């Protein structure tokens, strides 16, 4: 099934690339099924997109924020009307099961509605001046042209999270999606266009990182880059961007702590959902399960039994639990890490193989007897590979949790409120869940990580607009005389 031949979107028009070349997007569950062909954009196409965004900026930023919000509300309505259709296309393009792609679309709806509401806020603040007859305050102003570079695993929700925040703040942008999921990016831009977004405000360019991504990063008229993806790419962007604002979200090696007083049935649900949902292809996926030694054997038996029952297959089918990986390289990477884990001495108790079926599938995999120094316990695999580590006590569990370079999401299962609260303060992560898995971020709360996960940026929620605004401090002196701060004391 092919949905057609798709174009770039520049200055309000759907146009072909100057390269004259295209690339396909296939179905990872059925790689022979081509879903569409997409433009290989060039540096000249990027330049045209940036110029269009730059030209549109003055008028869009002058549009009152509540009116910008009305366009976002219309976009949310259109997303809701097309939810099932888009979800099915998403399952075909990136593989995760239909229940999850419906969730991806719903998250996009929620994010869009939330940011539409920010059009009635965009709060600055007022504060007392140290002088009489003088007003001190701050206001938010848009940054300018934004470069939006997004991954494939949440092909609607992550672009929506960035784009809606940038739009409500009055910015314009050039949007480069992953080449694994250009169909969903095109659908999003079509919806924004239909919602009434003016020409030039959002421009879509598809193609490779070298030919499209880096020209966006390096362009002088692009004032900020918002990127979600691999740490190595993020590091390169930071190096190449020059004197512009950069927001980076770059993955995780997330853990779930299960204490000896935990509800093990509840913990089991959280581990399976966090470790194998989206085939482990989430930056918030739990690839480490840190279990108290007193209940390790019991929980390991419970988990192993559940993992062996997970059903692998095409995510469009109603009885499937785990879909394919995104591409051949991801499949080979998971297999490579299984080999690494076995050579390091971890015990493979489930999965670990490429099944004999069409598509980029990999068996849900579980390692036990892992130690913190093993690569499978330190490096982001981005596949359905989970390792179990034993903790002697609470302090040891926290040490294991913090032993990795990343710090995105974390979880602890315990019925001890004191342990739970201490974990919240001691775990080095941007998100901590208590008695829940490591995935499940909500649209009205900030999302982001610490350490090598990112550089402090938070997206979504009340902090989501910080990435896309400049704060201006304003002083209004109506005293009729020059008042000198830190000098005049009367």
Tokens of 4: 């057609």
d(CA 112, CA 57): 20
Please name the residues in contact with 415: beta carbons below 8 A apart, sequence gap of 6 or more. 261, 262, 263
Q: Which residues form the catalytic set?
A: 249, 283
Tokens of 84: 């099932």
In SS3 terms, 211-270 reads as HHHHHHHHCCCEEEEEEECCHHHHHHHHHHCCCCEEEEECCCCEEEEECCCCCHHHHHHH
Query: Are 217 and 147 within 8 A, CB to CB?
Result: yes
| Neighbour-count burial of 479, counting CB atoms closer than 10 A to its CB (0-12 exposed, 13-18 middle, 19+ buried) | exposed
């Amino acid at each position: 099934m092919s949905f057609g031949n798709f174009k770039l979107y520049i200055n309000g028009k759907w146009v072909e690339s100057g390269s004259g070349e295209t690339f396909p997007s296939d179905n990872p569950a059925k790689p022979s099924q081509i879903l569409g062909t997409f433009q290989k954009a060039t540096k000249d196409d990027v330049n045209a997109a940036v110029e269009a965004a730059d030209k549109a900026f003055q008028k869009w930023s002058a549009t009152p924020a509540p009116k910008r919000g009305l366009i976002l509300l219309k976009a949310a309505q259109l997303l809701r009307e097309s939810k099932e259709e888009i979800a099915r296309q998403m399952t075909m393009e990136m593989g995760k099961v239909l229940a999850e792609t419906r969730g991806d679309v719903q998250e996009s709806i929620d994010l869009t509605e939330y940011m539409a509401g920010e059009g009635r806020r965009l709060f600055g603040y007022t504060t007392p001046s140290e002088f009489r007859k003088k007003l001190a305050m701050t206001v938010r102003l848009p940054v300018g042209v934004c470069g939006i570079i997004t991954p494939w695993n949440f092909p609607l929700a992550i672009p929506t999270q960035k784009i809606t925040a940038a739009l409500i703040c009055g910015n314009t942008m050039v949007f480069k999606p992953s080449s694994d999921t250009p169909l969903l990016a095109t659908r999003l831009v079509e919806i924004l266009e239909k919602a009434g977004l003016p020409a030039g405000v959002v421009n879509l360019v598809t193609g490779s990182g070298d030919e499209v991504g880096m020209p966006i990063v390096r362009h002088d008229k692009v004032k900020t880059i918002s990127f979600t993806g691999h740490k190595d790419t993020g590091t390169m962007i930071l190096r190449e961007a020059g004197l512009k604002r950069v927001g980076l979200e770059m993955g995780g090696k997330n853990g779930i702590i299960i204490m000896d007083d935990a509800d093990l049935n509840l913990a089991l649900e959280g581990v399976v959902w966090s470790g194998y949902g989206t085939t482990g292809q989430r930056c918030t996926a739990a690839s480490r399960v840190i279990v108290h030694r007193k209940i390790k054997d019991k929980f390991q038996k419970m988990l192993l039994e559940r993992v062996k029952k997970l059903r692998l297959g095409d995510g469009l089918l109603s009885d499937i639990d785990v879909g394919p990986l995104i591409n051949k390289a991801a499949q080979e990477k998971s297999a490579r890490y299984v080999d690494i884990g076995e050579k390091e001495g971890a015990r493979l108790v489930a999965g670990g193989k490429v099944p004999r079926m069409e598509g980029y599938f990999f068996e849900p995999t579980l390692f036990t007897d892992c130690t913190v120094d093993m690569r499978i316990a330190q490096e982001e695999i981005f596949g359905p590979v989970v390792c179990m580590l034993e903790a002697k006590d609470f302090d040891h569990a926290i040490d294991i949790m913090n032993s990795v370079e990343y710090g995105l999401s974390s979880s602890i299962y315990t019925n001890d409120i004191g342990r739970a609260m201490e974990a919240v303060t001691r775990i080095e992560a941007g998100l901590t869940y208590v008695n829940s898995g490591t995935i499940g971020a909500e649209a009205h709360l900030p999302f982001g990580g610490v350490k090598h996960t990112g550089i402090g940026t938070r997206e979504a929620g009340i902090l989501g607009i910080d990435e896309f605004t400049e704060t201006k401090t304003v002083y209004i002196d109506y005293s009729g005389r020059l008042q000198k701060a830190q000098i005049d004391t009367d």
